[in-house]
Amino acid sequence: MSVSYYDSGQRNETFFTFPKIVATCILVIVFYYVSKVNYLLFHTLAEGFAALVAFLIYILATSTYRHSKDNFLLFLGYTYVFIGVLDILHLITYKGIAIVQGYTANTPTQLWIAGRYLEAITLFLAPFFITRNFSRRLVVGVYGAITGFFVLVIMFYPLFPVCYIEGKGLTLFKILSEYIISLIILGSAYNLYKRQDKLNPNLYSVMIYSMAFFIVSELSFTLYTDVFGVMNFAGHILKLISYYLIFKGVLLKGIEEPYDTIFRELKQSTIQDYLTGLYNRQGFIEFFEHEAARAKREEYGLGLLLLDLNSFKSVNDQYGHLAGDFVLKGLAKILKASIRETDIACRLGGDEFVVLLTDADEETLCLVTERIRAAVADWDQQIPANVGVSIGSSLWQPGQEKDIDSFIREADVGMYREKGETSPHLVQGQFEFEK
């Protein structure tokens, strides 16, 4: 039985749509204009936003964990807090900012390199926690110790290698570090690639894109000689995009996907029969309307089978309602096994079932009817009660004007004719298939 019409699954999100690209280009132009007017303002906005995103990653990853149950994102959340701390220190020690005095342009550059090493190692380790738990206290302790060590050897005891020399530019250590960090990120992407089958496809894509921007950002930072220069500007913009994509991944997995699942399950509960697992009356109506419109467009036939168990009441009377439930579930299994993936079986109510056959003709109706009869006859030999089934059929062909009521009525007449009875719907003089 096909469930493709209802069971939409995970959303496939396109991250680089034309409107998003245009919006990004406009923001880059605005930031570039700000950087030319006042580079320190641009740098403060860029690094402040990056630090804010780092803390938001932590907040979202931890607060949505009970929904997402995603250790990969939780690890990123706990670790990005410490990366954000180094980003803030980089911001407040940046040349020209008067928040913290007594530091040269070398100090914020060292803090930058320390933060990028920590981020690269984080992204390299994170894929290992896709399918395993980790000790939160251990992660906080280790990352806290590493961050504290970086702060000590950069800001208080100058033991960290020099990264920038006034009047000369970047040191060899700084340039080599950017390449090493890029290689670590390549390794991170490979780690993620090997485990992509265990990740939401959208989350996998957004992380790969983020790593790609991270690498290009690092390479940009190997080319500047002036902390207020164009390549420095480009590196900060690319870093912002990388951070935003990780934030988007956490948002997608932690908030959007769980709520999509909740709404999908609520929708499914309104169209699915709780006992048999087949679609219910509402599910049949929705599927019929969808398929009828498609059949008219593509000009193919629709077949309908209406089924009723012959001795179901006697089963309930003689063996009890649990036995009746067993019989209903047994017939549901037979129907699902007897139809194609593109067809649908539904329980209308009680012991009445309906099968809608897509792209069908008279031969298809006869083939599926006989397949069901044979399966029921064999099944009757395996259960204490001999129930039997009556089947009526109806066929809609291109060009016919036949609504759902007349479609059902025609099959209903055939089913009761087979039973040797008059349809109660005809005795009443009407057949209205209410939604």
- DSSP string computed for 254-319: IIIHHHHHHHHHHHHHHHB-TTTSSB-HHHHHHHHHHHHHHHHHHT--EEEEEEEETTHHHHHHHH
Domain presence at residue 315: yes
Q: What is the CATH number of the domain that holds 97?
A: 1.20.1070
Task: Please check whether residues 162 and 308 belong to one and the same domain.
Answer: no
The domain tally of the chain equals 2
H/E stretch holding 392 reads strand 389-396
Domain presence at residue 9: no
Task: Please check whether residues 259 and 310 belong to one and the same domain.
Answer: no
**What pairing do the DSSP bridges indicate for beta strands 344-349 and 352-358?**
antiparallel
Residue 346 forms beta bridges with which residues? 279, 354
Task: Please check whether residues 314 and 260 belong to one and the same domain.
Answer: no
Cα 263 to its chain centre, rounded Å, is 13
Residues 120 and 188: beta-carbon distance below 8 Å: yes
- The pair phi, psi for residue 193, each rounded to 5°, is -60, -40
Q: Which of 359, 351, 299 is nearest to 321 (CA)?
A: 351
First CA to last CA distance, the chain: 22
Task: Please check whether residues 234 and 323 belong to one and the same domain.
Answer: no
Residues 395 and 357: beta-carbon distance below 8 Å: no
Task: Please check whether residues 160 and 33 belong to one and the same domain.
Answer: yes
Domain-ending residue, one of 269, 298, 319: 269
Residue 344 forms beta bridges with which residues? 356
**Per-residue pLDDT, 428:** 41
Task: Please check whether residues 228 and 312 belong to one and the same domain.
Answer: no
Q: What is the CATH number of the domain that holds 412?
A: 3.30.70.270
DSSP 116: H
Low-confidence ranges of the chain (pLDDT < 50): 1-11, 422-435
Q: In which domain, by residue range, is 325 found?
A: 281-427
Domain presence at residue 389: yes
Task: Please check whether residues 396 and 303 belong to one and the same domain.
Answer: yes
Task: Please check whether residues 261 and 311 belong to one and the same domain.
Answer: no
Q: Which residues 6+ apart lie within 8 Å of 309 measured at CB?
A: 315, 327, 331, 351, 387, 388, 389
Number of helical H runs and strand E runs in the chain? 16, 6
Which tokens go with 131? 């399918």
**Per-residue pLDDT, 427:** 38
Q: In angstroms, rounded to a whole number, what is the distance separating the alpha carbons of residues 226 and 232?
A: 8
**Per-residue pLDDT, 423:** 44
Q: How far is CA 224 from CA 38, 154, 232, in A?
A: 18, 21, 6
Q: In angstroms, rounded to a whole number, what is the distance separating the alpha carbons of residues 8 and 201?
A: 14
Q: In this structure, how many other beta carbons lie within 10 angstroms of the beta carbon of residue 317?
A: 11
Q: Which residues 6+ apart lie within 8 Å of 254 measured at CB?
A: 60, 61, 63, 64, 65, 67, 68, 70, 73
Domain-ending residue, one of 269, 291, 318: 269
Domain presence at residue 13: no
Q: Which of 319, 311, 323, 331 is nearest to 386 (CA)?
A: 311
User: What does the pLDDT look like over 83-99, one tens digit per residue?
Assistant: 999 999 999 998 887 67
User: Burial letters for 1-31: b for 16+ Cβ neighbours within 10 Å, e otherwise?
Assistant: beeeebeeeeeeeeeeeeeeeeeeeeebeeb
Task: Please check whether residues 242 and 321 belong to one and the same domain.
Answer: no
Domain presence at residue 98: yes
Domain presence at residue 227: yes
Q: Which residues 6+ apart lie within 8 Å of 137 measured at CB?
A: none
Residues 336 and 1: beta-carbon distance below 8 Å: yes
Task: Please check whether residues 215 and 344 belong to one and the same domain.
Answer: no
**Per-residue pLDDT, 150:** 97
Which tokens go with 338? 């007897």
H/E stretch holding 389 reads strand 389-396
Task: Please check whether residues 189 and 110 belong to one and the same domain.
Answer: yes
The sheet carrying 344-349 orders its strands as: 344-349, 352-358, 302-309, 389-396
Domain presence at residue 246: yes
Domain-ending residue, one of 240, 269, 298: 269
Task: Please check whether residues 229 and 102 belong to one and the same domain.
Answer: yes
Domain presence at residue 37: yes
